[in-house]
Amino acid sequence: MGVAALCSGGLDSAVAAALRKADLLIFVDYGQQASRQECDAVFRLAKHFGAAVEAVECQLPCDEMNLPPGPGPRVVPGRNLALLGIGVAWASHHARSTLVWGAAAGDHDNYPDCRSEFVSSVGEGAAAYRVRVEAPVLPWPRQRIREWAIAAGLPETFSCYAPVGFKHCGECDSCRQDER
């Protein structure tokens, strides 16, 4: 059985998908400001990996995402829990035994759903659907993720909370963390 990856088009999820050789990338447009840019990045990654893409739309409370650029986290409560539920559903539907996602250690201070306990809990629930949930870059420091992406020759990714057209704002937390 294959591997699905919940893929935002950002660096962490791209590396997680590459590490586990995902053959299905699941992109969720949940109303985020950069959805079009992220989706374009997912399709670039899919072409690079030779993977299929499943694009899903849902609506989450994203008022925080429409803040002006600048430092600080943009927290959408329950976002990763909702996205993982969608990912498990699509992975199961497409007969994929594993769902990977790009939770990273550098995010755990601001995002409680990027901690190993959360991943374990979600994994227990996903097992009911015969899907294993993995976060392969969770223990990695940000620098290792960047270096791995460069060494692997991954295509351009997109992570930004407040894009200016199709360009990164360069000021938000996501831009500052994912520069490479």
Q: Dihedral sign, CA of 140, 131, 49, 81?
A: negative
Q: Where are the domains of the chain?
A: 2-178
Superfamily (CATH) of domain 2-178: HUPs (3.40.50.620)
pLDDT of the residue at 180:
41
CA 170 vs. chain centroid, Å, equals 19
Closest Cα to residue 141, out of 95, 108, 174? Answer: 108
- Average pLDDT along the chain: 86
Torsion of CA 118, 67, 149, 39, to 10 degrees: 90
- For the whole model, what pTM was predicted? 0.88
Up-side HSE of residue 141: CA atoms within 13 Å toward CB? 2
Whether 174 and 10 have beta carbons less than 8 Å apart is answered as: yes
- The per-residue pLDDT for range 7-66, each reduced to its tens digit, is 999 999 999 999 999 999 999 998 888 899 999 999 999 999 999 999 999 988 765 455
- The per-residue pLDDT for range 60-81, each reduced to its tens digit, is 876 545 554 555 556 677 888 9
Q: Alpha carbon of 3 to those of 92, 131, 177: distances in Å?
A: 10, 10, 27
